Structure 1
Amino acid sequence: MAEKKTNPVSQGVKDELVFGKKNYQLLLISIAIVAVGFILMMGTTDIYDIRKTLIAPLVVVFGFAFCIYAILKK
């Protein structure tokens, strides 16, 4: 005879998201930081401007590092 499959939710296992609310908030902030970094890289000014060659890449790297922190935060 076929075995009856039971629903794991009915056995006391509750559905949880992988991340908490705070993690998702931090991820959205990190995405915004990366977007600001790329916006800083745009423009028609001199290609060797300090904003485009130093500040904007550092902002993007900081945004990605903040994203890793947001994922690993318990």
Structure 2
Amino acid sequence: MSKKKNDNQIKKPMREFIFQKRNYQFMFIGLAFIALGFILMSGGGMDDPLVFNPQVYSFRRIRLAPTLVLIGLGFQVYAILLNPHKKK
């Protein structure tokens, strides 16, 4: 009887990762959206600070880029909350 208990104690369960391949795929998609949003926000520096450049308030920088960043953050939250072990 004691040998059975010792055998069970010796065997250690395999470690299981919390995130699976599908979680990481959504995380990378989210990171790509966030990076693209920040790239679209960048640029447009002015040489002369006394000259107004209307490109600062373009659709790309005010609407599109922040929207992409928020979509990327949404993907990140979904990737964290996604349960890959759940069967449909």
Same fold (TM over 0.5): yes
Question: Can you give the 5+ residue segments of structure 2 that lack an aligned partner in the other structure?
Answer: 1-8, 45-52, 84-88
Cα distance between partner residues in 2 of 1:10 and 1:25: 33
1:21 match: 21
Letter in 1 for 2:71: F
Local SS of the residue matching 2:71: helix
Of structures 1 and 2, the one with the larger relative CO (CA 8 A, separation 6+) is 2
Alignment of 1:1-74 (within 5 A): 10-11=11-12, 13-44=13-44, 46-74=55-83
* Percent of aligned positions that are identical: 39
Higher helix fraction: Structure 1 or Structure 2? 2
- CA shift at 1:61, angstroms? 0.4
> Once superposed, which parts of structure 1, at least 4 consecutive aligned residues long, lie more than 2 Å away?
none
Count of aligned pairs: 66
Over 3 Å counting, the alpha-carbon distance change for 1:63 and 1:9 in structure 2 is: farther
Considering only aligned residues, what root-mean-square deviation do their CA atoms show, in Å? 1.8
Asked if structure 2 preserves the Cα contact closer than 8 Å seen for 1:37 and 1:57, the reply is yes
Structure 1 residue runs of 5 or longer lacking an equivalent are 1-7
TM-score normalized with structure 1 length: 0.80
Taking structure 1 as reference, are residues 15 and 52 closer, same or farther at Cα in structure 2, changes over 3 Å only?
same
